[in-house]
Amino acid sequence: MKISGKVLLVTALSLLSGWSYGLELAGFLTAHDPSTIVFEDGKYYVFYTGRGIKVKTSEDLRTWNETKPVFNTRLGWWNNVVSNFNGSLWAPDLVKVNDCWYLYYSVSSFGKNRSAIGLAVNKTLNPSSPEFKWEDRGAVIESFPTNNFNAIDPAVLPDGDKLWLVFGSWWSGIKLIELDKSTGKRISEKSPVYSLASAHKNDIEAPYLYKHGKYYYLFVNWGLCCRGINSTYEIRVGRSEKVTGPYLDKDGKDMRNGGGTLFFGTRGRRIGPGHIAITEAGGKKYCSYHYYDRENNGRPTLMINEIEWDDQGWPVVK
């Protein structure tokens, strides 16, 4: 989870210190495919899968309140992607660039690769601000049944003067494109689409890129989501000195050929962790994700754990 601006308050950091397992936000905060958690004007914001893109806010990372969704009406172009689209937008991610929030989201239907990643922009996340207004800028990239990829699950990586979008689900796996920082859209219609990772059974999705030291780390999910306690999601990781790859796991296996070191899987009541992101706060790093709660009817729940890097430079959950 990439954070813009001040991330965690001192009080929040005191809550996060000394975790033995992790912290369920807001007493089991329901959120599937949670976005980057961002901070603006004294509040944290998390965006997640739901009708019009669901949004919740918090002042302390424990007590959360739902606010109005990003979209209150369905946009016409969504129906060009999915006929009779129900308005449920998946797996959003956002970042602040040039004093503007770029929010990326998925338009799709389950099991099909006729999909699109859309972009909405806003000067502020505060609904009470006179400048608050979401402006949709249409599709950033689309996929069709004739393509070998699926344009969903976007995650954004600011990298110096460049901006990257990693995405993908099943089919041939995880892809990467470069974005224009001035618009948030693809640098050109025919710009390169880089292949970063695939899985032997094609069950790969929910990518996330993070730079630490000289390496770019690519996190992905293997397995099946959205099945409650029967979900088989697990988080895998590889790294590269170049954002475009190749990404290798601990054994040196290319993630494009099924490589990927297990980073985090099912533990106790926490089934099928997925959609990881990383937060930096107070000199420490934390990873966030959702899991399916075995003791709460498989409810998707937001979770945070402290994350460290070992002597070989690999991320581990503390």
For residue 191, the tally of other CB atoms under 10 A from its CB is 13
Res 105: pLDDT:
98
Q: Where are the domains of the chain?
A: 10-317
Res 36: pLDDT:
83
Handedness of CA 222, 223, 227, 229 (dihedral sign): negative
Tell me phi and psi for residue 290, to 5 degrees: -105, 155
Per-residue pLDDT of 305-315, as tens digits, reads 889 999 999 99
Instruction: Quote the CA–CA distance of 93 and 276 in Å, as a whole number.
Output: 11
Average pLDDT of the residues in 288-300: 93
Q: Which residue has the higher pLDDT, 284 or 273?
A: 273
User: 219 near 237, Cβ under 8 Å?
Assistant: yes
Res 272: pLDDT:
96
Among 220, 232, 227, 234, CA closest to 299:
227
User: 101 near 94, Cβ under 8 Å?
Assistant: yes
- The band of 3, judged by pLDDT with boundaries at 50, 70 and 90, is very low
Provide the β-strand partners of residue 290.
274, 302
Q: Are β-strands 204-212 and 115-122 bridged in parallel, bridged antiparallel, or unpaired? A: unpaired
CA dihedral 239, 258, 140, 135 (to 10 degrees): -70
Tokens read off for 163? 């901006």
| Average pLDDT along the chain | 89
3-state secondary structure of 280: strand
Res 59: pLDDT:
85
Q: Which residue has the higher pLDDT, 215 or 37?
A: 215
Q: Is the pLDDT of residue 17 over 60?
A: no
> Which region among 34-43, 128-137, 176-185, 307-316 has the lowest average model confidence (pLDDT)?
34-43
Average pLDDT of the residues in 124-147: 97
Among 143, 133, 136, CA closest to 77:
136
Res 28: pLDDT:
54
User: 238 near 248, Cβ under 8 Å?
Assistant: yes
Per-residue pLDDT of 21-62, as tens digits, reads 344 444 457 899 999 888 899 898 989 999 999 999 888 777
Q: Is the pLDDT of residue 196 over 50?
A: yes
Active site residues: 33, 205
In one letter, which amino acid is 83? S
Res 21: pLDDT:
39
CATH number of 10-317: 2.115.10.20
Instruction: Quote the CA–CA distance of 17 and 282 in Å, as a whole number.
Output: 10
Average pLDDT of the residues in 201-207: 95
In one letter, which amino acid is 252? G
Q: Which long-range contacts (CB under 8 A, 24 or more apart) does 255-260 make?
A: 255/174, 255/196, 255/197, 255/198, 255/218, 255/220, 256/173, 256/195, 256/196, 256/197, 256/198, 257/198, 258/198, 258/199, 258/200, 259/197, 260/197, 260/199, 260/220, 260/222, 260/236
Q: Is the pLDDT of residue 102 over 60?
A: yes
Average pLDDT of the residues in 61-88: 92
Res 282: pLDDT:
64
Scan for tokens 């409650």, then name that residue: 228
> Which region among 56-65, 72-81, 295-304 has the lowest average model confidence (pLDDT)?
56-65
Res 16: pLDDT:
34
Q: Percent of the chain at pLDDT above 90? A: 77
Instruction: Quote the CA–CA distance of 148 and 301 in Å, as a whole number.
Output: 32
Scan for tokens 């009541």, then name that residue: 269
* Predicted structure pTM score: 0.90
Q: Are β-strands 194-197 and 315-317 bridged in parallel, bridged antiparallel, or unpaired? A: unpaired
3-state secondary structure of 79: helix
Tokens read off for 112? 């099909």
Residue 193 zone, left/alpha/beta (φ > 0; ψ -120 to 50; rest)? beta
- The band of 248, judged by pLDDT with boundaries at 50, 70 and 90, is very high
Tokens read off for 60? 């302390």
